[in-house]
Structure formats: structure tokens, C-alpha cells
Amino acid sequence: MQRIFNLACGSFYALGAYAGVSAVGWYVGAGGPPALFIVPLVLAGLAVGAVGFVVERGLLRFVYDRDETFQLLMTFAIVLVMEDAIRMTWGTAPRSTAGLYLAYGQIRVLGATAPVYNLIVILASLAIALAIGWLLTRTAFGRIIRATADNRDMAEALGIDMRRVYAKVFTLGTMLGTLGGALVIPATAAMSEMGIELIVEAFAVVVIGGLGSMRGAFVGALAVGILRAIAISVYPELEMLLIYLIVIAVLVVRPRGLFGAAEA
């Protein structure tokens, strides 16, 4: 909506991951029951999303009307600054939530064993996707967002305060990133460069799905995830290559992506 290509989304994800590790660490240290660790995890993920407000008001608003190159440079600078800030705060060693990943046990589905936590994350992702869908299509705020995305000048002419909308939308987006980072952390470990790793994949997702499309992002993410998994099982050498081949194919055949809006 803001027509900003935000490289810093990966950094927000990393920030959420580290905040999640710390919150869970304090929680366990304070004697909280392990089964409820997801509560401090989610709260921490949401809380650090507030950094989005600071970034939007403090930095991004100055580059909205600038060339895209400025926006890329600005958000890349944020990536570098946040990576170092994370390193200064949490150190360089990977951080993890020890064995809490298995706190909810495992289940067997169709002969395969899966940790219940993974199912919780999948359900949480679906719930978030539905909530966003509801927000965009069924609420007044959602209509304003869509109107602004379609035609910023017209929306502004109709009396919508762009500053507030931008700040809210960007903070909300940041919260989704930080929450995602927090939710993923029990299954993995937080590393300061995890943000940059994510950007590359996120880029493939939005190219395949289509820039600026929620549905596209959803389908693109599923496609990238599933294709990578299949590639690893069938022909591991293709794992990364396959994604980029598809990105190239999409760029050549359908540059706006699967669900992207046609150029005006």
C-alpha cells in the first residue's frame, strides 16, 4: 500500500525471534509453567512490533515520495543497523529456547510424526491470514487501506489522514513480522543474520505471488515452501535453483505475479 519495497521486513522477523527467546527465557527463569510458554512468546513478538512505528515516523516517511532507489537504500540501511543492534544486545552466539519446542508433544499423522507446536504455528498462521482478510474486506479501516493502495491522492482528497494510516499500517505489518519471528523460534534458533536469509525468500514469494497482493503473498509463500520441500526430497541440488527458475519464469511470462494488479 505504501509502495515501499521494504528490505527491513527480515530484520523485524529477526527482532521478533530474539525478543521471543528472551521473553521465554525470563518466563521459564521465573518459574512459569512450560505449557504456557507460547503466551510470553506471542506477547513479546507483538510488543517489539512497536519498533515499526518508530521506523515509519522516524525514517520511512521521508522517502515515500523519493525514488525507489532511496527507499531500497534506506530500508537496507535499517537492515544493517538492526543486525548490529541485535548483535550488541544479544551477542553473536545463536540463541534458542532449549527443548520447549517439544513441550506440546508429537502426533502421528498418516504415518509421519509431527510436533504439535508446528500444528499450532500453522493454525496461528491461518488465523492471522483470516484476520487480515477480515480486516481488509469487512472493516472501515480495511476499506481505507484498500482505497489508499488503489489511489493515494484520491483517498487523501477524500479527507483521509495519510500519516495516521501509514503509521498504523506499517506498525501492523511490522507486528506481523515480529510475531512471525517469535512463533518460529522454538523450532529453530535465533541468529543475527536470519533477517537477510528471509529477505531473499520473501522476495521470491512476492515476485511469484504478485507485489502488493495479500492473496498472492499467501499463495506465493505456500508455493515456495512446498516446492523447496519437494525439491529436497526428489533432487536436492535443485532446492534453491528451482525457486529462482520459477521467479525468472514468472518475471518473463507474467511480470505482475500470479495475483498482482495489472499496471495502470
Q: Which of 8, 21, 55, 191 binds other proteins (CB under 8 A)?
A: 191
**Which three three-digit cell numbers place residue 146?**
484498500
| Binding of residue 99 to other proteins (CB under 8 A) | yes
Phi, psi of 114 (to 5 degrees): -135, 140
The count of residues in the chain is 264
Largest CA distance in the chain: 59
Instruction: Output 18 or 259, the one with its CB closest to other proteins.
Output: 18
Looking only at residues 115 through 134 of this chain, which bind other proteins when binding is defined by CB under 8 A?
Answer: 115, 117-118
- Residues ≥6 apart with Cβ < 8 Å to 61: 163, 166
- Minimum Å distance from CB 167 to other proteins? 31
Exposure of 243 in the CB half-sphere (CA atoms within 13 A): 25
Q: Which of 7, 8, 144, 194 binds other proteins (CB under 8 A)?
A: 194
Instruction: Output 112 or 253, the one with its CB closest to other proteins.
Output: 112
- Residue 207 CB coordination number (10 Å): 24
Instruction: Output 122 or 135, the one with its CB closest to other proteins.
Output: 122
- Minimum Å distance from CB 107 to other proteins? 11
Per-residue binding string, other proteins, 237-256, x by CB under 8 A, is --xx----------------
- Minimum Å distance from CB 125 to other proteins? 14
Instruction: Output 80 or 130, the one with its CB closest to other proteins.
Output: 80
| Binding of residue 114 to other proteins (CB under 8 A) | yes
- Residues ≥6 apart with Cβ < 8 Å to 190: 14, 17, 18, 20, 21, 90, 94, 95, 96, 181
Q: Which of 95, 93, 81, 79 is nearest to 44 (CA)?
A: 95
**Residue that has been written with the C-alpha cell 501509514 in this structure:** 166
CA distances in angstroms from 175 to 2, 128, 130, listed in the order given: 16, 11, 16
- Minimum Å distance from CB 254 to other proteins? 26
Instruction: Output 135 or 234, the one with its CB closest to other proteins.
Output: 234
**Residue that has been written with the C-alpha cell 534458542 in this structure:** 96
| Binding of residue 233 to other proteins (CB under 8 A) | yes
| Binding of residue 229 to other proteins (CB under 8 A) | yes
Residues that bind other proteins (CB under 8 A): 87, 92-94, 96, 98-99, 101-102, 106, 112-115, 117-118, 184, 187-189, 191-194, 197, 228-229, 232-233, 236, 239-240
